[in-house]
């Protein structure tokens, strides 16, 4: 399947689900965003498009003050640890205004997935989240195939493996 075909399928599936649930299709579904350039993570390392190309990329928008984010983050971290070797990558982008708050939270919780500040990330085509937490799922072909807003269960995370 090509990226264009996957984009069309993602839009059609999202439209079908929206018809059933009455929810609107997230405008990012079907887009093919890229990381513009290499940028710094909170741990001092860099991340670039080359590092995530061909992987299932979960872009997680969160904040240290967000109570639902505090529920979803440990689930996401566990999911990433179990599936990283299969080609799942996470990029957690903090919406905190203070870098120290985000870094302290990361240190306190022991999360190891790549984290940066949403304001520092060089994301070409990724849309800003409408709410927190938001998880944008970019397929191995680079297409946003799903956007989850709010609480995300462990079961919903496991269902993302169909995109591998």
What is the domain extent for residue 75? 3-163
pLDDT at 30: 93
pLDDT, the chain, mean = 92
Mind listing the pLDDT tens digit for each residue in 45-102? 999 999 999 999 999 999 999 999 999 999 999 999 999 999 999 999 999 999 999 9
Classified as helix, coil or strand, 87 is coil
Tally of domains in the chain? 1
Say if residue 133 is preceded by a cis peptide, omega within 30 of 0.
yes
Whether the pLDDT of residue 40 is over 90: the answer is: no
Whether the pLDDT of residue 157 is over 80: the answer is: yes
Mind listing the pLDDT tens digit for each residue in 13-22? 888 888 888 8
Split at pLDDT 50, 70, 90, the class of 109 is very high
> For residue 91, what are the contacts with CB-CB under 8 A and spacing of at least 6?
47, 52, 57, 58, 59, 60, 113, 114, 115, 116, 121
CATH code for the domain in which residue 30 is found: 3.40.30.10
Q: Percentage of the chain with pLDDT > 70?
A: 100
Q: Transcribe 97-109 into DSSP letters.
A: S-HHHHHHHHHHH
Split at pLDDT 50, 70, 90, the class of 148 is very high
pLDDT at 160: 95
CB 52 within 8 A of CB 160: no
Q: Percentage of the chain with pLDDT > 90?
A: 68
């Amino acid at each position: 399947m090509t990226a264009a075909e996957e984009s069309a399928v993602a839009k059609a599936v999202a439209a079908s689900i929206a018809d059933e649930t009455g929810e609107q299709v997230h405008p990012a579904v079907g887009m093919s965003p890229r990381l513009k350039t290499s940028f710094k993570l909170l741990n001092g390392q860099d991340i670039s498009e080359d590092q995530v190309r061909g992987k299932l990329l979960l872009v997680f928008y969160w904040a240290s003050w967000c109570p639902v984010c505090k529920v979803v983050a440990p689930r996401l971290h566990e999911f990433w640890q179990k599936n990283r070797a299969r080609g799942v990558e996470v990029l957690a982008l903090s919406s905190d205004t203070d870098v120290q708050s985000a870094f302290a939270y990361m240190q306190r919780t022991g999360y190891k997935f790549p984290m940066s500040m949403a304001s520092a990330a060089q994301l070409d085509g990724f849309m800003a989240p409408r709410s927190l937490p938001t998880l944008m799922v970019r397929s191995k072909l680079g297409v946003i195939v799903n956007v989850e807003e709010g609480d995300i269960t462990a079961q919903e995370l496991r269902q993302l493996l169909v995109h591998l």
